[in-house]
Amino acid sequence: MNHFLSRRTLTAWAFCAACALGMASAVSAAEEPADVFIKRVSSDILDAIKSDKSIHNGDVNKIIVLVDQRVMPNVNFLRMTASAVGPGWRQATPEQQKRLQDEFKILLVRTYSGALGQVSDQTIAVKPLRAAADDKEVLVRTEVRGKGDPIQLDYRVEKTADGAWKVYNMNVMGIWLVENYKTQFAQEINAKGVDGLIASLADRNKTNARASK
């Protein structure tokens, strides 16, 4: 399969596109259908990557700041983390759950930040939305277009009580982000418990941090 972008690059893009949700006001988000919303914020993040050399080059610290400022209020990261951890999430204490969210966020950012440098002249095309007007959870299917074959990049979004959309899962080239990590996390929890998973994530983040330097 001759794809012009790797799955890692596309996952980075999807994750940061979710961050771009923060660029929308609550009013405009409430007025937009899910597909229009994804189209706009995906275009926003493409423009941000192309216009900011440090983000384009994978500046980890700058991307972390972007995530902290944009992703938390606008992506259901609690649901994303809980789904990835699976049954072990219910066994975790509030402190453990917080640690899991913190380490998982850092893992995603540091794992995919360098891949953003591969984004260049791509565009996003949103496929026709198959959903009723009153649906609270929607699958928005998109394609990344540029050199080579179009690449599948889909989002699962939910509507909150105030009418805003939030992303809680992403599908990159047939692989759902949450399900991909769920398998890994389940093995860690079965072997070493919730604290073992937290320790493993922390170790991976330290290794990634050293590698980025």
Q: Is residue 103 part of a domain?
A: yes
Q: Is residue 142 part of a domain?
A: yes
Structural domain for 11, as ranges: 7-212
Model pLDDT, residue 21: 47
| Sign of the Cα pseudo-torsion (203, 208, 201, 186, in order) | negative
Burial readout 111-138 (b: 16 or more C-beta within 10 A, e: otherwise): bbbbbbbbbeebebebeebebeeeeeeb
| Sign of the Cα pseudo-torsion (6, 64, 16, 166, in order) | positive
Q: Is residue 56 part of a domain?
A: yes
Q: Is residue 80 part of a domain?
A: yes
Give the pLDDT mean for 84-109.
93
Give the pLDDT mean for 207-211.
82
In whole numbers, what is the pLDDT of the chain averaged over residues? 80
pTM of the full structure:
0.78
Percent of the chain exceeding pLDDT 90 equals 35
State how far the Cα of 5 lies from the Cα of 144, in Å rounded to an integer: 9
3-state DSSP assignment of residue 43: helix
Q: Is residue 137 part of a domain?
A: yes
Indicate whether 27 pLDDT > 60. no
pLDDT tens sequence across 30-39: 578 899 888 8
Do strands 175-176 and 123-126 pair parallel, antiparallel, or not at all (unpaired)? unpaired
Indicate whether 14 pLDDT > 70. no
Model pLDDT, residue 11: 67
Model pLDDT, residue 50: 74
Whether 116 and 9 have beta carbons less than 8 Å apart is answered as: yes
Q: Indicate the angle between helix axes 77-85 and 177-212, nearest 10 degrees.
A: 100
Higher pLDDT, 208 or 142: 142
Please report, for the domain that includes residue 20, its CATH number. 3.10.450.710
Band (22; pLDDT cuts 50, 70, 90): very low
- Please give the tally of structural domains in the chain: 1
Q: Is residue 2 part of a domain?
A: no
Q: Is residue 161 part of a domain?
A: yes
Query: In the numeric block, which tokens belong to residue 208?
Result: 């990634």
pLDDT tens sequence across 154-166: 999 999 888 888 8
Q: Is residue 1 part of a domain?
A: no
